[in-house]
């Protein structure tokens, strides 16, 4: 069969289907999951409540109970929240509601990959403003210059940034919110590991959106739950493009139980932060690697050249350790990175030993 049909879209040519990493591996440090999982008693409570769900009915369209619990905890209400299938779906909704073919979406380089993918799918133009080379700080003036183009509509800012792991200065982001004329989306996917937030600014600005996820600290990546906070006018536009029954009943239930019991997560978050600091220090003792400071549950490891990056990635995978490539040619064509999730103690030990083995490889420069 040949693509001689008029219905194919030229602008999808640069996209590839997601690679589901069906390679064999023993240790998974590529997706920033919380390795400690949920306590068994919570899972038992959930599965006991799950006996009574009406599986044959459509879900609560606006995830009503979950929306109430989460928004009220944030000092907001049901008119300020949309629940989605992870942050991914919420990014898609934002782009559907506020961009289209001919508009422009802006983020930093590097940044979270899904902003670009959903932008391309929507037909939007996509611009990335490189971070400062020395310290990964935000070039707010260049972002504003781009934002002031007539077709610019949305600015995505990951806070802390992925994959660099650092917070941008709050006053720079405020300046962008105040002066850009665009919708500014602050992506707080890793909020629970660093605790800085723009939520208090929602009532002050009519162009600010916050997104967060249950996939990282909350350790239910399997169930695809994220939430979006903003003012009621923005929320109304997002609900127009929201699939009526987007979040399934079981995920609504689990997210609700976990959120209501969020003190159970404190220990694992504390352990991840301690492990992150230990891991950063240990990696920095292994030449030629440089682990950058992180406020998330992953560490950005600078590995030198493109050849080094391929060699380290593949050599770790041969040892059964799956990590994530994280270089961005728009940020730099001479600096290469891997993004490595902070695992549990045992996983981090194996990773460090793995990096030590790679470090001795003669081809590494």
Q: Is 233 in the site for a copy of itself (CB under 8 A)?
A: yes
**Residue 278 in tokens:** 């230990």
Look up tokens 């059964």; give the residue. 320
Q: Least distance (Å) from a copy of itself to the CB of residue 349?
A: 19
**Residue 45 in tokens:** 């409570």
- From the list 211, 110, 216, the residue with the least C-alpha distance to 163 is 110
**Contact of 111 with 156, CB cutoff 8 Å:** yes
| Contact pattern from residue 78 through residue 97 relative to a copy of itself, giving x for each residue in contact according to CB under 8 A and a dash for the rest | -------xx-xx--x---xx
Closer residue to a copy of itself (CB): 136 or 218: 218
Q: Among residues 71, 248, 297, 341, which is the contact residue for a copy of itself, using CB under 8 A?
A: 248
Q: Least distance (Å) from a copy of itself to the CB of residue 13?
A: 9
**Residue 160 in tokens:** 């802390």
Look up tokens 């769900």; give the residue. 53
Closer residue to a copy of itself (CB): 131 or 272: 272
- Helix crossing, 345-359 with 306-318: angle to 10°? 130
Q: Least distance (Å) from a copy of itself to the CB of residue 252?
A: 9
Give the count of beta carbons closer than 10 Å to the beta carbon of residue 130: 15
Q: Which helix (H) or strand (E) holds 357?
A: helix 345-359
State the number of binding residues for a copy of itself (CB under 8 A): 89
Closer residue to a copy of itself (CB): 302 or 347: 347
What's 56's DSSP letter?
Answer: T
| Contact pattern from residue 183 through residue 212 relative to a copy of itself, giving x for each residue in contact according to CB under 8 A and a dash for the rest | x----------------------xx-----
Q: Among residues 29, 38, 257, 291, which is the contact residue for a copy of itself, using CB under 8 A?
A: 38
- Helix crossing, 86-98 with 232-241: angle to 10°? 100
Closer residue to a copy of itself (CB): 60 or 305: 60
Q: Is 24 in the site for a copy of itself (CB under 8 A)?
A: no
Q: Among residues 23, 57, 171, 195, which is the contact residue for a copy of itself, using CB under 8 A?
A: 57
Q: Is 100 in the site for a copy of itself (CB under 8 A)?
A: yes
Three-state secondary structure call for residue 154: strand
Q: Is 242 in the site for a copy of itself (CB under 8 A)?
A: yes
Q: Least distance (Å) from a copy of itself to the CB of residue 18?
A: 4
Q: Among residues 25, 39, 60, 317, which is the contact residue for a copy of itself, using CB under 8 A?
A: 60
Report how far apart, in Å, the C-alpha atoms of 3 and of each of 8, 10, 13, 122 are: 7, 11, 12, 21
Q: Is 326 in the site for a copy of itself (CB under 8 A)?
A: no
Instruction: Say how far apart CA 258 and CA 170 lie, in whole Å.
Output: 30
Instruction: Say how far apart CA 16 and CA 18 lie, in whole Å.
Output: 6
**Contact of 257 with 223, CB cutoff 8 Å:** no
Footprint (CB under 8 A) of a copy of itself, residues 336-365: none
Q: Is 249 in the site for a copy of itself (CB under 8 A)?
A: yes
Q: Is 287 in the site for a copy of itself (CB under 8 A)?
A: no
Q: Is 41 in the site for a copy of itself (CB under 8 A)?
A: no
């Amino acid at each position: 069969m040949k693509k001689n049909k008029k219905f194919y879209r030229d602008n999808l040519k640069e996209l590839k289907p997601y690679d589901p990493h069906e390679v064999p591996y023993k240790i998974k440090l590529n997706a920033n999951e919380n390795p400690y999982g949920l306590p068994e008693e919570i899972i038992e409570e959930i599965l006991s409540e799950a006996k009574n769900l009406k599986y044959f009915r459509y879900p609560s369209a606006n995830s009503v109970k979950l929306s109430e619990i989460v928004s009220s905890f944030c000092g907001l209400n049901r008119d300020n929240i949309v629940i989605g299938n992870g942050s991914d779906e919420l990014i898609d909704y934002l782009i559907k509601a506020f961009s289209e073919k001919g508009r422009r979406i802006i983020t930093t380089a590097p940044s979270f990959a899904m902003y670009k993918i959903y932008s391309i799918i929507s037909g939007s133009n996509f611009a990335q403003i490189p971070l400062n080379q020395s310290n990964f700080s935000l070039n707010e003036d260049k972002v504003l210059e781009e934002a002031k183009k007539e077709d610019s509509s949305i600015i995505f800012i990951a806070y802390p940034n992925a994959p660099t792991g650092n917070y941008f200065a709050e006053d720079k982001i405020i300046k962008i919110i105040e002066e850009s004329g665009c919708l500014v989306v602050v992506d707080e996917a890793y909020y629970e590991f660093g605790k800085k937030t723009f939520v208090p600014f929602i009532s002050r600005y009519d162009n600010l959106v916050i997104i967060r996820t249950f996939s990282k600290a909350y350790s239910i990546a399997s169930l695809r739950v994220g939430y979006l906070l903003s003012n009621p006018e923005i929320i109304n536009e997002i609900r127009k493009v929201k699939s009526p029954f987007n979040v399934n009943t079981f995920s609504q239930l689990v997210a609700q139980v976990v959120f209501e019991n969020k003190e159970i997560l404190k220990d694992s978050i504390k352990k991840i932060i301690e492990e992150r600091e230990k891991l950063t220090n240990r990696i920095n003792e292994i030449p030629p690697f440089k682990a950058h400071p992180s406020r998330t549950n992953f560490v950005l490891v600078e590995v030198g050249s493109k050849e080094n990056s391929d060699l380290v990635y593949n050599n770790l995978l041969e040892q059964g350790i799956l990590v994530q490539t994280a270089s961005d040619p728009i940020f730099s064509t001479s600096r290469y990175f891997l993004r490595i999730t902070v695992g549990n103690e045992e996983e981090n030990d194996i990773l460090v030993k793995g990096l030590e083995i790679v470090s001795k490889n003669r081809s590494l420069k």
